[in-house]
Structure 1
């Protein structure tokens, strides 16, 4: 069985998530958090950019909790 990698922690307030592509740094903050679907695939919240800060905070708390539950379930099923 291959080892599953966990999702990275969300950035701290004011901190940006970036990746290096061809020597250039790209910010991914506008994409929002990764969502673990019940089948183990990943997706994003489509309306993340249109949410207010308070909506984002509430959604992020929910997503973190649900992602943990889904990852635990998938791991216990051996997927």
Structure 2
């Protein structure tokens, strides 16, 4: 039906070098500051990896 489901408690998706996705296993134990920093770093890394994967796939 197109309804969205929030998965915030699982943490951000991590794009691996081969294009597979993963989650951060200890997300639920991170402090708020650690979570914010992780989101910032993972977001930057994911954008770079998606760009690189798009180049490879043409």
TM-score above 0.5: yes
The alignment yields a C-alpha RMSD, in angstroms, of: 1.3
- The corresponding residue for 2:12 is 33
- The corresponding residue for 1:42 is 21
- The corresponding residue for 1:7 is none
Segments of structure 1 that go 5 or more residues without pairing to the other structure are 1-17, 20-26
Question: Which structure features the higher share of helix residues?
Answer: 2
How is 1:1-79 mapped onto 2 (pairs within 5 angstroms)?
19=5, 27-78=6-57
Q: What do the CA deviations read for 1:1-55 (whole angstroms, capped 9, x no partner)?
A: xxxxxxxxxxxxxxxxx51xxxxxxx41110000000000000000000000000
For CA contacts below 8 A with separation 6 or more, give which structure has more relative contact order: 2
Segments of structure 2 that go 5 or more residues without pairing to the other structure are none
Question: Which structure features the higher share of strand residues?
Answer: 1
CA distance in 1, matches of 2:30, 2:53: 29
- Please, what TM-score do these two structures have when normalized by structure 1? 0.66
Whichever of the two has the greater Rg, that structure is: 1
